[in-house]
Copies of this chain bind each other. A is one copy, B any other.
Protein backbone atom coordinates (compact mmCIF):
# COMPACT_ATOMS: atom_id res chain seq x y z
CA UNK A 1 0.00 0.00 0.00
CA UNK A 2 2.68 2.33 0.95
CA UNK A 3 4.74 1.54 -2.07
CA UNK A 4 1.86 2.08 -4.37
CA UNK A 5 1.31 5.45 -2.75
CA UNK A 6 4.92 6.28 -3.27
CA UNK A 7 4.75 5.14 -6.81
CA UNK A 8 1.75 7.23 -7.41
CA UNK A 9 3.37 10.23 -5.85
CA UNK A 10 6.48 9.74 -7.95
CA UNK A 11 4.36 9.55 -11.07
CA UNK A 12 2.66 12.78 -10.11
CA UNK A 13 5.96 14.49 -9.52
CA UNK A 14 7.22 13.26 -12.84
CA UNK A 15 4.14 14.49 -14.56
CA UNK A 16 4.33 17.84 -12.86
CA UNK A 17 7.93 18.11 -13.77
CA UNK A 18 7.07 17.31 -17.28
CA UNK A 19 4.28 19.92 -17.31
CA UNK A 20 6.65 22.42 -15.85
CA UNK A 21 9.33 21.65 -18.43
CA UNK A 22 6.84 21.78 -21.22
CA UNK A 23 5.70 25.18 -20.04
CA UNK A 24 9.28 26.38 -19.73
CA UNK A 25 9.98 25.13 -23.20
CA UNK A 26 6.99 26.95 -24.61
CA UNK A 27 7.95 30.07 -22.73
CA UNK A 28 11.46 30.01 -24.12
CA UNK A 29 10.25 29.33 -27.64
CA UNK A 30 7.86 32.22 -27.38
CA UNK A 31 10.51 34.56 -26.08
CA UNK A 32 12.86 33.48 -28.85
CA UNK A 33 10.25 33.96 -31.53
CA UNK A 34 9.87 37.66 -30.70
CA UNK A 35 13.56 38.12 -31.22
CA UNK A 36 13.51 36.18 -34.46
CA UNK A 37 10.73 38.37 -35.75
CA UNK A 38 12.71 41.48 -34.88
CA UNK A 39 15.89 40.16 -36.46
CA UNK A 40 15.32 41.46 -40.02
CA UNK A 41 14.77 44.96 -38.66
CA UNK A 42 17.47 47.53 -38.09
CA UNK A 43 17.62 49.45 -34.85
CA UNK A 44 16.08 52.34 -36.73
CA UNK A 45 13.17 50.24 -37.93
CA UNK A 46 12.53 49.17 -34.38
CA UNK A 47 12.18 52.60 -32.79
CA UNK A 48 9.79 54.50 -35.07
CA UNK A 49 6.02 54.65 -34.57
CA UNK A 50 4.17 55.01 -37.87
CA UNK A 51 0.80 56.01 -36.41
CA UNK A 52 -0.96 56.14 -33.05
CA UNK A 53 -2.40 52.63 -33.41
CA UNK A 54 0.91 50.97 -34.22
CA UNK A 55 3.76 50.65 -31.76
CA UNK A 56 7.48 50.38 -32.43
CA UNK A 57 9.01 46.93 -32.49
CA UNK A 58 11.28 47.85 -29.62
CA UNK A 59 8.29 48.78 -27.56
CA UNK A 60 6.64 45.43 -28.23
CA UNK A 61 9.84 43.66 -27.22
CA UNK A 62 10.12 45.61 -24.01
CA UNK A 63 6.45 45.70 -23.08
CA UNK A 64 6.08 41.92 -23.25
CA UNK A 65 9.11 41.70 -20.98
CA UNK A 66 7.75 44.30 -18.58
CA UNK A 67 4.65 42.14 -18.33
CA UNK A 68 6.61 39.23 -16.86
CA UNK A 69 8.67 41.47 -14.64
CA UNK A 70 5.61 43.26 -13.26
CA UNK A 71 3.18 40.45 -12.79
CA UNK A 72 5.50 37.54 -12.09
CA UNK A 73 9.06 38.39 -11.09
CA UNK A 74 8.63 41.41 -8.86
CA UNK A 75 5.76 40.01 -6.80
CA UNK A 76 6.77 36.36 -6.79
CA UNK A 77 10.50 35.78 -7.23
CA UNK A 78 12.33 36.43 -3.95
CA UNK A 79 15.38 38.57 -4.43
CA UNK A 80 14.53 39.56 -7.95
CA UNK A 81 16.38 42.75 -8.92
CA UNK A 82 14.30 45.10 -11.08
CA UNK A 83 16.17 45.83 -14.28
CA UNK A 84 15.49 49.56 -14.22
CA UNK A 85 12.95 51.63 -12.33
CA UNK A 86 12.42 53.80 -15.43
CA UNK A 87 11.16 50.96 -17.56
CA UNK A 88 7.78 50.73 -15.91
CA UNK A 89 7.01 54.24 -17.11
CA UNK A 90 8.31 53.54 -20.59
CA UNK A 91 6.72 50.19 -21.24
CA UNK A 92 3.43 49.95 -19.39
CA UNK A 93 0.72 49.85 -22.04
CA UNK A 94 -2.57 50.84 -20.45
CA UNK A 95 -2.71 49.39 -16.97
CA UNK A 96 -4.12 52.36 -15.09
CA UNK A 97 -3.68 50.43 -11.88
CA UNK A 98 0.07 50.26 -12.56
CA UNK A 99 0.77 53.96 -12.63
CA UNK A 100 1.58 56.63 -15.14
CA UNK A 101 3.17 55.73 -18.44
CA UNK A 102 4.46 57.02 -21.75
CA UNK A 103 1.40 58.08 -23.75
CA UNK A 104 0.49 55.61 -26.46
CA UNK A 105 0.97 58.09 -29.29
CA UNK A 106 4.43 58.98 -27.99
CA UNK A 107 5.93 55.51 -27.83
CA UNK A 108 7.95 56.31 -30.93
CA UNK A 109 9.91 59.03 -29.14
CA UNK A 110 11.76 56.55 -26.97
CA UNK A 111 15.17 56.38 -28.61
CA UNK A 112 16.37 55.52 -25.13
CA UNK A 113 16.44 52.91 -23.75
CA UNK A 114 18.07 51.61 -26.91
CA UNK A 115 17.29 48.42 -28.77
CA UNK A 116 20.44 47.02 -27.25
CA UNK A 117 19.32 47.83 -23.75
CA UNK A 118 15.98 46.23 -24.49
CA UNK A 119 17.84 43.12 -25.55
CA UNK A 120 19.64 43.28 -22.23
CA UNK A 121 16.31 43.71 -20.47
CA UNK A 122 14.96 40.66 -22.21
CA UNK A 123 18.00 38.58 -21.29
CA UNK A 124 17.79 39.70 -17.68
CA UNK A 125 14.14 38.80 -17.41
CA UNK A 126 14.52 35.56 -19.36
CA UNK A 127 17.25 34.47 -17.03
CA UNK A 128 15.08 35.22 -14.01
CA UNK A 129 12.14 33.40 -15.54
CA UNK A 130 14.23 30.34 -16.12
CA UNK A 131 15.52 30.57 -12.59
CA UNK A 132 11.96 30.68 -11.36
CA UNK A 133 11.28 27.38 -13.06
CA UNK A 134 14.48 25.73 -12.11
CA UNK A 135 14.23 26.75 -8.51
CA UNK A 136 10.75 25.35 -8.40
CA UNK A 137 8.84 28.54 -7.75
CA UNK A 138 6.61 27.65 -10.60
CA UNK A 139 4.32 24.75 -9.82
CA UNK A 140 5.48 24.43 -6.26
CA UNK A 141 2.09 25.07 -4.80
CA UNK A 142 1.93 28.76 -5.40
CA UNK A 143 -1.23 28.46 -7.41
CA UNK A 144 -1.54 30.69 -10.35
CA UNK A 145 2.10 31.34 -11.26
CA UNK A 146 1.96 28.88 -14.12
CA UNK A 147 -1.24 30.58 -15.18
CA UNK A 148 0.58 33.91 -15.31
CA UNK A 149 3.29 32.35 -17.47
CA UNK A 150 0.58 30.98 -19.74
CA UNK A 151 -1.03 34.41 -19.93
CA UNK A 152 2.36 35.96 -20.61
CA UNK A 153 2.98 33.59 -23.52
CA UNK A 154 -0.38 34.41 -25.04
CA UNK A 155 0.14 38.10 -24.41
CA UNK A 156 3.46 37.97 -26.20
CA UNK A 157 1.90 36.09 -29.10
CA UNK A 158 -0.55 38.92 -29.56
CA UNK A 159 2.32 41.37 -29.67
CA UNK A 160 4.18 39.17 -32.15
CA UNK A 161 1.27 39.59 -34.53
CA UNK A 162 1.20 43.32 -33.85
CA UNK A 163 4.93 43.57 -34.36
CA UNK A 164 4.41 42.35 -37.91
CA UNK A 165 1.32 44.41 -38.71
CA UNK A 166 2.90 47.51 -37.21
CA UNK A 167 6.06 46.97 -39.21
CA UNK A 168 3.95 46.65 -42.35
CA UNK A 169 2.29 49.96 -41.46
CA UNK A 170 5.70 51.54 -40.96
CA UNK A 171 7.10 50.25 -44.21
CA UNK A 172 4.03 51.30 -46.15
CA UNK A 173 4.41 54.85 -44.84
CA UNK A 174 7.82 55.16 -46.44
CA UNK A 175 8.62 56.17 -49.98
CA UNK A 176 11.02 53.27 -50.43
CA UNK A 177 8.42 50.62 -49.51
CA UNK A 178 11.02 48.27 -48.10
CA UNK A 179 10.38 44.56 -47.80
CA UNK A 180 10.46 42.88 -44.41
CA UNK A 181 11.34 39.55 -45.96
CA UNK A 182 12.31 38.10 -49.29
CA UNK A 183 9.39 36.85 -51.35
CA UNK A 184 8.31 33.29 -50.83
CA UNK A 185 6.83 31.24 -53.62
CA UNK A 186 3.12 31.87 -53.56
CA UNK A 187 0.32 29.45 -54.25
CA UNK A 188 -1.23 29.44 -57.68
CA UNK A 189 -2.66 32.84 -58.39
CA UNK A 190 -5.14 31.73 -60.98
CA UNK A 191 -7.59 29.82 -58.88
CA UNK A 192 -9.92 32.73 -58.30
CA UNK A 193 -12.49 31.70 -60.83
CA UNK A 194 -15.70 30.28 -59.59
CA UNK A 195 -18.03 31.78 -57.04
CA UNK A 196 -17.82 30.90 -53.41
CA UNK A 197 -20.13 28.08 -52.40
CA UNK A 198 -22.50 28.77 -49.50
CA UNK A 199 -22.65 25.98 -47.01
CA UNK A 200 -25.76 25.58 -44.90
CA UNK A 201 -25.89 25.17 -41.14
CA UNK A 202 -28.99 24.37 -39.12
CA UNK A 203 -30.41 26.61 -36.42
CA UNK A 204 -30.82 25.65 -32.80
CA UNK A 205 -29.44 26.28 -29.37
CA UNK A 206 -25.69 25.83 -29.21
CA UNK A 207 -23.16 26.26 -26.47
CA UNK A 208 -20.65 28.97 -27.30
CA UNK A 209 -17.62 30.26 -25.53
CA UNK A 210 -14.66 28.41 -24.20
CA UNK A 211 -14.79 25.10 -22.46
CA UNK A 212 -12.02 22.71 -21.68
CA UNK A 213 -8.80 22.80 -19.78
CA UNK A 214 -6.36 24.86 -21.80
CA UNK A 215 -5.83 28.56 -21.83
CA UNK A 216 -8.40 31.12 -22.90
CA UNK A 217 -8.94 34.83 -22.39
CA UNK A 218 -11.55 36.00 -19.95
CA UNK A 219 -13.64 37.43 -22.79
CA UNK A 220 -14.28 33.90 -24.15
CA UNK A 221 -16.13 32.98 -20.98
CA UNK A 222 -18.48 31.99 -19.56
CA UNK A 223 -19.60 29.35 -21.92
CA UNK A 224 -23.28 29.86 -22.53
CA UNK A 225 -26.08 28.99 -24.90
CA UNK A 226 -26.74 30.89 -28.08
CA UNK A 227 -29.80 30.63 -30.26
CA UNK A 228 -29.10 30.53 -33.98
CA UNK A 229 -31.36 30.55 -37.00
CA UNK A 230 -30.34 28.44 -39.99
CA UNK A 231 -27.67 30.19 -42.00
CA UNK A 232 -25.19 29.69 -44.81
CA UNK A 233 -21.52 30.59 -44.81
CA UNK A 234 -19.26 31.10 -47.82
CA UNK A 235 -16.76 28.30 -48.14
CA UNK A 236 -13.91 30.75 -48.56
CA UNK A 237 -13.05 34.42 -47.97
CA UNK A 238 -13.79 37.23 -50.41
CA UNK A 239 -10.92 37.51 -52.90
CA UNK A 240 -9.08 40.51 -54.24
CA UNK A 241 -10.67 39.78 -57.62
CA UNK A 242 -14.11 40.10 -56.09
CA UNK A 243 -13.09 43.26 -54.33
CA UNK A 244 -11.91 44.76 -57.61
CA UNK A 245 -15.33 43.99 -59.08
CA UNK A 246 -16.87 45.89 -56.18
CA UNK A 247 -14.56 48.82 -56.84
CA UNK A 248 -15.20 48.73 -60.57
CA UNK A 249 -18.92 48.75 -59.90
CA UNK A 250 -18.58 52.02 -57.98
CA UNK A 251 -18.75 50.42 -54.58
CA UNK A 252 -16.81 53.23 -52.93
CA UNK A 253 -19.04 55.87 -54.51
CA UNK A 254 -22.54 54.66 -53.68
CA UNK A 255 -23.66 55.99 -50.29
CA UNK A 256 -26.58 53.58 -50.12
CA UNK A 257 -24.18 50.69 -49.61
CA UNK A 258 -22.53 52.24 -46.59
CA UNK A 259 -23.17 52.75 -42.95
CA UNK A 260 -23.41 56.50 -42.29
CA UNK A 261 -20.19 56.50 -40.25
CA UNK A 262 -18.49 54.50 -42.96
CA UNK A 263 -19.51 56.91 -45.67
CA UNK A 264 -18.09 59.78 -43.61
CA UNK A 265 -14.89 57.86 -42.96
CA UNK A 266 -14.11 56.91 -46.55
CA UNK A 267 -14.75 60.46 -47.69
CA UNK A 268 -12.76 62.08 -44.91
CA UNK A 269 -9.81 59.76 -45.56
CA UNK A 270 -10.07 59.55 -49.32
CA UNK A 271 -10.31 55.74 -49.14
CA UNK A 272 -11.22 54.12 -52.43
CA UNK A 273 -9.42 50.80 -52.10
CA UNK A 274 -8.24 48.46 -49.33
CA UNK A 275 -5.42 49.54 -47.08
CA UNK A 276 -1.91 49.40 -48.55
CA UNK A 277 -3.22 49.35 -52.12
CA UNK A 278 -1.41 51.73 -54.46
CA UNK A 279 -1.77 52.28 -58.16
CA UNK A 280 1.42 52.12 -60.17
CA UNK A 281 1.04 52.85 -63.88
CA UNK A 282 -2.62 51.97 -63.74
CA UNK A 283 -2.10 48.64 -61.99
CA UNK A 284 -3.16 48.02 -58.42
CA UNK A 285 -0.33 46.95 -56.18
CA UNK A 286 -0.41 46.12 -52.53
CA UNK A 287 2.19 46.71 -49.90
CA UNK A 288 3.08 43.42 -48.22
CA UNK A 289 5.77 42.15 -45.92
CA UNK A 290 7.50 41.21 -49.17
CA UNK A 291 7.34 44.79 -50.41
CA UNK A 292 5.13 46.40 -53.01
CA UNK A 293 3.79 43.77 -55.40
CA UNK A 294 0.89 43.48 -57.84
CA UNK A 295 -2.36 42.50 -56.17
CA UNK A 296 -2.80 38.73 -56.03
CA UNK A 297 -6.31 38.33 -57.45
CA UNK A 298 -6.91 34.86 -56.03
CA UNK A 299 -5.88 35.72 -52.50
CA UNK A 300 -8.30 36.94 -49.85
CA UNK A 301 -8.71 40.67 -49.62
CA UNK A 302 -7.01 42.04 -46.50
CA UNK A 303 -6.76 45.37 -44.73
CA UNK A 304 -10.40 46.26 -45.12
CA UNK A 305 -12.24 47.73 -42.17
CA UNK A 306 -15.68 46.94 -40.84
CA UNK A 307 -17.33 49.67 -42.86
CA UNK A 308 -15.83 48.29 -46.02
CA UNK A 309 -16.68 44.70 -45.13
CA UNK A 310 -20.27 45.72 -44.46
CA UNK A 311 -20.58 47.74 -47.66
CA UNK A 312 -19.18 44.87 -49.69
CA UNK A 313 -21.68 42.47 -48.15
CA UNK A 314 -24.52 44.86 -48.99
CA UNK A 315 -23.27 45.14 -52.54
CA UNK A 316 -23.08 41.37 -52.82
CA UNK A 317 -26.60 40.95 -51.45
CA UNK A 318 -25.28 39.02 -48.49
CA UNK A 319 -24.35 39.87 -44.93
CA UNK A 320 -21.53 39.31 -42.47
CA UNK A 321 -21.80 36.33 -40.14
CA UNK A 322 -22.34 36.78 -36.42
CA UNK A 323 -19.53 35.66 -34.20
CA UNK A 324 -21.60 32.70 -33.00
CA UNK A 325 -22.47 31.57 -36.51
CA UNK A 326 -18.77 31.59 -37.21
CA UNK A 327 -17.99 29.72 -34.02
CA UNK A 328 -20.59 27.02 -34.54
CA UNK A 329 -19.68 26.61 -38.21
CA UNK A 330 -16.07 26.05 -37.25
CA UNK A 331 -16.93 23.13 -35.01
CA UNK A 332 -14.60 20.27 -35.72
CA UNK A 333 -12.16 22.25 -37.82
CA UNK A 334 -8.61 22.24 -36.56
CA UNK A 335 -7.46 25.68 -35.47
CA UNK A 336 -4.61 25.85 -37.93
CA UNK A 337 -4.04 27.06 -41.43
CA UNK A 338 -1.96 29.70 -43.13
CA UNK A 339 -0.81 31.25 -39.89
CA UNK A 340 2.63 32.44 -38.94
CA UNK A 341 3.67 28.81 -38.80
CA UNK A 342 3.70 28.52 -42.60
CA UNK A 343 6.11 31.40 -42.76
CA UNK A 344 4.33 32.81 -45.82
CA UNK A 345 3.19 35.98 -44.06
CA UNK A 346 0.66 36.73 -46.77
CA UNK A 347 -2.93 35.57 -47.19
CA UNK A 348 -3.00 32.74 -49.73
CA UNK A 349 -5.60 31.68 -52.30
CA UNK A 350 -8.01 29.09 -50.97
CA UNK A 351 -6.91 25.54 -51.48
CA UNK A 352 -9.20 23.15 -53.23
CA UNK A 353 -11.35 21.48 -50.66
CA UNK A 354 -13.92 18.79 -50.63
CA UNK A 355 -17.36 19.95 -51.65
CA UNK A 356 -19.29 21.49 -48.84
CA UNK A 357 -16.20 22.09 -46.80
CA UNK A 358 -15.17 25.39 -45.28
CA UNK A 359 -11.66 26.57 -46.06
CA UNK A 360 -9.53 29.42 -44.74
CA UNK A 361 -11.36 29.48 -41.43
CA UNK A 362 -8.10 29.76 -39.52
CA UNK A 363 -5.21 31.89 -40.66
CA UNK A 364 -5.00 34.04 -43.79
CA UNK A 365 -7.20 36.92 -42.62
CA UNK A 366 -9.19 37.82 -39.53
CA UNK A 367 -12.85 37.72 -40.49
CA UNK A 368 -15.08 40.60 -39.52
CA UNK A 369 -18.29 39.53 -37.87
CA UNK A 370 -21.40 41.65 -37.46
CA UNK A 371 -21.20 41.14 -33.71
CA UNK A 372 -20.35 44.00 -31.44
CA UNK A 373 -17.64 43.21 -28.95
CA UNK A 374 -19.61 42.79 -25.74
CA UNK A 375 -19.23 40.78 -22.56
CA UNK A 376 -20.79 37.35 -22.50
CA UNK A 377 -23.65 36.89 -20.06
CA UNK A 378 -22.13 36.51 -16.62
CA UNK A 379 -18.74 37.87 -17.69
CA UNK A 380 -16.48 38.87 -14.85
CA UNK A 381 -13.06 40.36 -15.42
CA UNK A 382 -10.24 38.59 -13.66
CA UNK A 383 -9.44 40.21 -10.30
CA UNK A 384 -6.51 42.59 -9.90
CA UNK A 385 -4.40 44.32 -12.46
CA UNK A 386 -4.35 41.37 -14.84
CA UNK A 387 -8.09 41.76 -15.16
CA UNK A 388 -7.63 45.21 -16.60
CA UNK A 389 -7.36 43.65 -19.94
CA UNK A 390 -10.19 42.73 -22.25
CA UNK A 391 -13.20 44.12 -20.48
CA UNK A 392 -12.32 47.77 -20.69
CA UNK A 393 -12.53 47.72 -24.47
CA UNK A 394 -16.06 46.33 -24.66
CA UNK A 395 -17.72 49.19 -26.51
CA UNK A 396 -17.79 50.48 -30.07
CA UNK A 397 -15.72 47.64 -31.48
CA UNK A 398 -16.56 44.59 -33.57
CA UNK A 399 -15.47 41.01 -33.19
CA UNK A 400 -13.17 39.29 -35.67
CA UNK A 401 -12.57 35.58 -35.75
CA UNK A 402 -10.11 33.04 -37.05
CA UNK A 403 -6.63 34.53 -36.93
CA UNK A 404 -4.44 35.66 -39.79
CA UNK A 405 -1.32 34.80 -41.71
CA UNK A 406 0.73 36.44 -38.98
CA UNK A 407 -0.95 34.90 -35.95
CA UNK A 408 1.55 32.71 -34.12
CA UNK A 409 0.72 29.03 -34.41
CA UNK A 410 -1.10 27.65 -31.42
CA UNK A 411 -2.44 31.03 -30.43
CA UNK A 412 -5.82 30.87 -32.12
CA UNK A 413 -8.96 29.00 -31.01
CA UNK A 414 -12.48 28.50 -32.28
CA UNK A 415 -13.70 30.63 -29.42
CA UNK A 416 -11.06 33.33 -29.78
CA UNK A 417 -12.43 36.86 -30.00
CA UNK A 418 -10.34 39.57 -31.55
CA UNK A 419 -11.77 43.11 -31.74
CA UNK A 420 -11.08 46.36 -33.53
CA UNK A 421 -12.83 49.64 -34.14
CA UNK A 422 -14.89 49.76 -37.32
CA UNK A 423 -12.52 52.22 -39.02
CA UNK A 424 -9.31 50.30 -38.37
CA UNK A 425 -7.68 48.38 -41.16
CA UNK A 426 -4.00 47.98 -40.51
CA UNK A 427 -4.55 44.38 -39.42
CA UNK A 428 -4.89 41.47 -41.83
CA UNK A 429 -8.66 41.80 -41.70
CA UNK A 430 -10.91 40.36 -44.39
CA UNK A 431 -14.38 39.15 -45.14
CA UNK A 432 -16.35 35.91 -45.27
CA UNK A 433 -19.95 36.32 -46.42
CA UNK A 434 -23.03 34.77 -44.88
CA UNK A 435 -26.75 34.67 -45.56
CA UNK A 436 -29.95 33.48 -43.93
CA UNK A 437 -30.93 29.96 -44.83
CA UNK A 438 -34.61 30.46 -44.14
Q: Which residues on A are within 8 Å of B, measured CB to CB?
A: 42-48, 50, 58, 86, 89-90, 94, 96-97, 102, 106, 108-115, 170, 173-176, 178, 205, 224-227, 229, 255-256, 258-263, 306-307, 310, 370-372, 374-375, 377-378, 388, 392-396, 398, 422, 436, 438
Contacts and interface: CB of A to CB of B under 8 A. Distances in A.
Given A106-B173, A111-B174, A262-B395, A97 B48 contact: no
Contacts of A114: 42, 44
- Top 10 closest pairs, chain A to chain B, by CB: A372-B372, A96-B255, A227-B227, A44-B47, A44-B111, A45-B111, A260-B392, A109-B173, A396-B396, A112-B178
A28 B394 CA distance: 45
Contacts of A170: 109, 111
27 contacts: A42-B43, A42-B111, A43-B43, A44-B44, A44-B46, A44-B47, A44-B111, A44-B115, A47-B47, A48-B48, A48-B108, A50-B109, A86-B176, A94-B260, A96-B255, A96-B263, A102-B175, A108-B108, A109-B170, A109-B173, A112-B174, A256-B388, A259-B393, A310-B395, A371-B374, A372-B372, A378-B438
Contacts of A255: 96-97
A254 to B, nearest CB: 9
Contacts of A263: 96, 392
B45 A259 contact: no
A176 B113 contact: yes
Nearest to A387: B256
A372 to B, nearest CB: 3
Contacts of A175: 86, 89-90, 102, 110
